């Protein structure tokens, strides 16, 4: 394996491992929100925000924990034959399935970016161009131009009406990190097929 591939695996695995360990404790945040929801409904006036905050937290917990789960091999697989195979055969099968995973995650990420652009008020057909221009305007500190690019911001149709774009951005970040982790797993599978140490 080349030095670039080894560095890529090391960096991506380290980032996703640390993020996964941090996000893992998000379950306590969700428990706290749902506990407050139960207490406020029982003893006080029910809070409008609790269920949606818990839903958003669950989405962030699930999506940002995805790369960590891929890294640990926590995914579900049919173990009927898999456990009997050699390490090399497992790596070959895993390399094929991870290619399918990369395709699926890439298509989902593209759709997520389009949905995020919509939630920011962009109704055109080229979300990547929109995000490029928005990023360039923001990086050049031209906040007026960046503000002009934002349209009608999408809100949830509930009584609380929170903005939707923050959780959509979290979803896109999580999907992007899952793509990076899947590529890392592909590199590891190729190394196993070749009989190389990683």
Length of the chain: 198
Dump the DSSP string for 61-105: HHHHHHHHHHHHT-S---HHHHTTS-HHHHHHHHHHHHHHHHHHH
Whole-number Å distance between alpha carbons of 9 and 98: 15
Assess contact for 182 and 105: CB atoms under 8 A.
yes
What's the pLDDT tens digit per position in 148-183?
888 888 998 888 899 999 999 999 999 999 999 999
The pLDDT tens digits for 15-35 are: 999 999 999 999 999 999 999
Question: Which residues in the chain show pLDDT less than 50?
Answer: none
């Amino acid at each position: 394996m080349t030095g670039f591939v080894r560095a890529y695996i090391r960096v991506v695995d380290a980032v996703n491992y640390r993020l996964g360990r941090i996000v893992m404790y998000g379950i306590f945040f969700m428990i706290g929100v749902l506990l407050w929801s139960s207490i406020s409904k029982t003893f006080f006036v029910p809070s409008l925000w609790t269920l949606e905050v818990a839903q958003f937290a669950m989405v962030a917990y699930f999506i940002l924990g995805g790369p960590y789960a891929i890294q640990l091999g926590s995914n579900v697989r049919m173990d009927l034959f898999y456990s009997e195979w050699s390490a090399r055969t497992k790596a070959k099968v895993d390399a094929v399935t991870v290619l399918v995973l990369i395709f699926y995650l890439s298509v989902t990420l593209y759709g997520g970016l389009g949905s995020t652009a919509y939630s920011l008020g962009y109704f055109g057909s080229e979300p990547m161009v929109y995000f490029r221009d928005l990023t360039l305007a923001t990086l050049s500190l031209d906040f007026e131009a960046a503000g002009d690019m934002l349209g009608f911001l999408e809100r949830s149709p509930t009584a609380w009406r929170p903005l939707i774009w923050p959780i959509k951005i979290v979803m896109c970040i999580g999907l992007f990190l899952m793509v990076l982790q899947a590529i890392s797993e592909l590199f590891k599978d190729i190394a196993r097929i070749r009989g190389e140490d990683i």
